[in-house]
Amino acid sequence: MSKPFTTTAAVNARVRELGITARDLDDRADVDYSTVRYFGLLEHDEATLERLSVALDWPPDHLRKLWHGEQTS
């Protein structure tokens, strides 16, 4: 399984778990809607991954680790 796909699946599951929408996530993370909408199709810098992680109530490095195939806690 590719890393972006795994990370995208994790983000989608977390959005459902938190009961928020993609629009809510882009507001919470202060990112453009297209960043959320096309998450798995775009490359992201570490700051964006960190903002999204925090917006999803995860540790700041969670999505970076997933994206790069590292172990998450």
Exposure string for 48-72, b = 16+ CB within 10 A, e = fewer: bbbbbbbbbebeebbbbbbbeeeee
What backbone phi and psi angles, to 5 degrees, belong to 56? -95, 15
User: Nearest Cα to 37, choosing from 65, 12, 16, 56?
Assistant: 12
CATH homologous superfamily, domain 3-67? lambda repressor-like DNA-binding domains (1.10.260.40)
Domain residue spans of the chain: 3-67
- What are 30-45's pLDDT values in tens digits? 999 999 998 888 888 8
Higher pLDDT, 29 or 67: 29
Kindly report the pTM of this predicted structure. Answer: 0.88
Rg of the chain over all Cα atoms, to the nearest angstrom:
11
User: Nearest Cα to 50, choosing from 41, 58, 40?
Assistant: 58
pLDDT at 6 (0 to 100):
84
